[in-house]
Amino acid sequence: MRTRHTRNGWGYTVHNWVANYTENKEEAEVCRLQDFGIKLFKPEGGDLMEQKNTNKMDKEPIRGLIYGASGTGKTTVAATMPSPGFVDTDKGMLSLKGKDIPYFDISQDVPVMRWLNINKAVDTFAKDPTIKTIVLDSLTTASECAMTSVQVTNKTFGKAPTLQDWGHQIAKLKELIFKLIALPKHIIVIAHEKYDKDELSGRVWCGPLVTGKLAQQLGIYFDEMYRAEVTAGKIQEFKLLMRATSVYTAKSRLAGKNHNGNYYPANFKEIIK
């Protein structure tokens, strides 16, 4: 049973299991979060909290983000994950032609429907037992879809986004990320890259291309964060930077398990073997 509520323009869904968590102050926080448009997901067969054990962490799904310039092999390396299904907002599946990989081509949809269809595609793959990995390709263009959805709702479509529009867009993107990483499947999110410069210090750094401060927060949500790179020359070598430098954002919790150095091969079959 689901009950639909609206408060101050925010819509949220309260499940019957959430409604029961209001008998003390700590549990009341669960419902308070709903006031901010944050949907909570109950783990399958469990309660809001589930005790885990570090001895079983190898069985945890991978939640990774790969960013980089166009042509650095992001889509191709994501396809090396187990049984992937792609949510394609970039119209970038040509590199996987003939690979027998299921995908939804969101890029061909009417712009005002793309955000809704991104979520529908994720939900469809979430229910499909043959899909072991969900790939969002890419978060960069998905953020544009989120903004279109927000501006249509806020009746500002066709105009410069307002501060309220930006805030609602980030809320939508976070909700999608939370939904993805809560699933019992591998998750790979792809993004384009962006260089920034601090005008005071002159420092230059590079990270995923998404809206505003969200780019700096993405590392919180993903265990693996790689920058895709390719060497120049007649023989190209594709690789994944998995350790941060003074310029590039990267990290890996798999580092040290089977690999040394700063790079992984551009093949998840080698990374997670």
Q: Would you say residue 56 has pLDDT above 60?
A: yes
Q: Are 186 and 82 in contact (CB under 8 A)?
A: yes
Q: Are 248 and 227 in contact (CB under 8 A)?
A: yes
* Residue at token pair 């005071």: 200
Q: What is the pLDDT of residue 1?
A: 38
In this structure, are strands 84-88 and 133-137 parallel, antiparallel, or unpaired? parallel
- Termini Cα distance of the chain: 42
Distances (CA, A) of 31 to 25, 38, 56, 122, 177: 10, 9, 31, 25, 20
Residue 11: which of 34, 31, 32, 30 has the closest Cα? 34
**Model confidence pLDDT, tens digit, residues 214-255:** 988 999 999 999 999 999 878 889 999 999 999 999 999 887
Q: Would you say residue 5 has pLDDT above 80?
A: no
Q: Would you say residue 26 has pLDDT above 70?
A: no
Query: How many residues does the structure list for the chain?
Result: 273
Q: Would you say residue 36 has pLDDT above 50?
A: no
Could you tell me the maximum CA-CA distance found in the chain, to the nearest angstrom?
Answer: 67
In angstroms, the CA 156 to CA 212 distance is 19
Beta strands in 130-250 (DSSP E): 133-137, 186-191, 193-197, 204-208, 224-230, 238-241
Q: What is the pLDDT of residue 9?
A: 39
**Model confidence pLDDT, tens digit, residues 171-212:** 999 999 999 999 999 999 999 999 998 888 989 999 999 987
Q: What is the pLDDT of residue 47?
A: 61
Q: Would you say residue 258 has pLDDT above 70?
A: no
Structure tokens belonging to residue 88: 């394609």
